[in-house]
Structure 1
């Protein structure tokens, strides 16, 4: 007898879906494809030499190697958590080591927070559009999404107030150079968001994956910093998620989540059940590297990615036909394109790959209700400037043909 596995799966499995982005990453290995799909850093600018030295340092000592290859505490490598406390303190947020948990990338933090806070049918407030990975992390816990429109300053406050009146379990937000649309929440809007959520008793999950990648303008206070400033320097309303994947390297899979102690203690229990702890040696190596070169390396990345952003924006201005609009991000990795009504990003992608050897992500993937069919996301971080210009020219030519 053959088991009918579909009948044995838990109901929450229906909330799982494949990531359009992960599937599109397979195209990167095809040299003829100019890919604007994956929001990934450029491997040519990884701090490989510093990482190699850090690993070598570990193995120069038998004692050090033994500890690095051993189990460690679920909370994370203590010196790395201490470093993060100092990092957050410079951002205006005072946390103790027991208020930060090291996770296997910030994606694991989102999964844990979904498990911690969402029950079947619970409301979760997100922007439209929002980060696809967050939807993938939250959806298996069977929430009902309430979506908040965005303008050039961030979430529209009237929409946010209406959403908060329905008492969602939390608001999820990427305030800096949002994935996917590149929008940065304005200072006034940040203050209003914290005000409204505090009054409504609704926590905020702040995803700060791109916050260090600013190319122009002033760095803005995080939502956690605004929350902390109203609470003696300690956040009470905002759970802050960070990652080293965009600033250092993705493969070490080291991220973190900080927040009120009660939250972190529960997340530690989830970490123990999920994977015991993030790789000990990777945490040790990363701590060595960020202690030595974090600021200088991030400064270099800003220069590289700024050139690519500028190249993409200039090419869009030069080549795109009338009726196509796009965002002009101050940082991050993404430009958001709105196509003329009636065009479908998914259908355009099929033709772009087949006819133009260009890849991107259809925008509908970033909406819980799969709306936004006439939008697409372009990433500029992993593509050299000359290929960015050529890729945009090809895409614009295709749009002219499609619209004819």
Structure 2
């Protein structure tokens, strides 16, 4: 099936801790239920994360929606990703949950388990998913209920800077056949043949990437019941060993540089500065690194047993306490199905799941964004089933993973002990 045819660790940890304490299903709209008119419209609140560019575009979309729906006003609320989840947790605890809000990663599972999210089947008359690519609607289902709707899809990828390869005299890899051993070898060769300060790659500590690694090894990151990690100690140990090998061989920079690079804005990373040959990345982030002609490839090992899948880069949800759920649903429907909105948003939130909109905006995309669209078609052709949404209790996994990976890179703990510690700690969170 062709898809085209059918952010800081500390902040995230704080948000996860706050979430555990306050997500009790509380929260409500600021406004009593009423029927809007052009003279006295209903007001709904919409919260999302992102930079100033995304905020500007979103406000343009809001204005267009309001012009088409004069009985509804939308109050937009933009927050940087590093503080978004803290803010959401505070609002939920204080009973001021936005009517519509953006979600991603493990948070839908956390919020749904505590009654914060509206079952979207209750507003299915207002949301049309008939043009969505196969499987993309199900990305928002948790325990059989539709709690979110994808704003756009992306996938794990390997971003390549051909200029770095060319300068080092290293041939580009064949992403239909390469392995993780090839990746480590090529990265080390790039560093050796490049000027000081340029590296082959940097390790990536991300729970979604770890899920790909697990799936490539015939395992899953979490068990089907979401009660514990499904990835084995041996498979996790090999992942930590790979990251340590990259820094030990010089394929990647020092541990301190890896930590610094991981917290930098995309354009300030080594990849963004043209000083890195390969970077494991979300597909929709490639345009954020550089204006240089980058290339997007499949991760190593995908030909043997694919692990990457089409994933929601952002999801939309409605508060279960919203007094205006139908108006909120109409707004979501506009975001995911309206051509004018799609022409403004383009692929900023991932490629549209609505295949008609994807086809319509593809000619409007920059060259790098068109490469992303083509890459997602390749991932879709693998026909790999998406894993279940990350379970409740897993929103802290990213912080735990980063902490253990950093300790491994600095030599404070062995890969085997890191694997044991990670599994134990995450299992406690899930329990």
Q: Which has the higher contact order (CA 8 A, sep 6+)?
A: 2
Q: TM-score, normalised by structure 2?
A: 0.24
